[in-house]
Amino acid sequence: MIKFSERLKKLRQERGLKQREMAEICGLKLRGYQCYEYATSCPDFDGLVFLADYFNVSTDYLLGRTDCREMNQAAPDGTA
């Protein structure tokens, strides 16, 4: 199973961003962000949702639970 850290790194590289730039986007110090990519720490729930929204992928994709990047969009009436 693909790890969160691998997916995060791949998504960052696809956007052509450096770790330092990604850290600034996330409101983290460089070392804090690097810990995500080096799999020594993980973001909290809010951080995970922020990253999924930023990269326009599902949290399940980030966590390696699916290979489908698309997020489930709620219908206008609020149902999934």
The domain segmentation of the chain, as residue ranges, is: 4-62
Residue 16 identity (one-letter amino acid): G
pLDDT in tens, the chain (80 residues): 469 999 999 999 999 999 999 999 999 999 999 999 999 999 999 999 999 999 999 999 999 999 998 876 554 455 55
Token readout for 51 is 């990253």
The two three-digit tokens of residue 19, written as one number: 């770790």
> Based on the number of CB atoms within 10 Å of its own CB, is 54 exposed (0-12), middle (13-18) or buried (19 or more)?
middle
* Domain at 4-62, CATH homologous superfamily: lambda repressor-like DNA-binding domains (1.10.260.40)
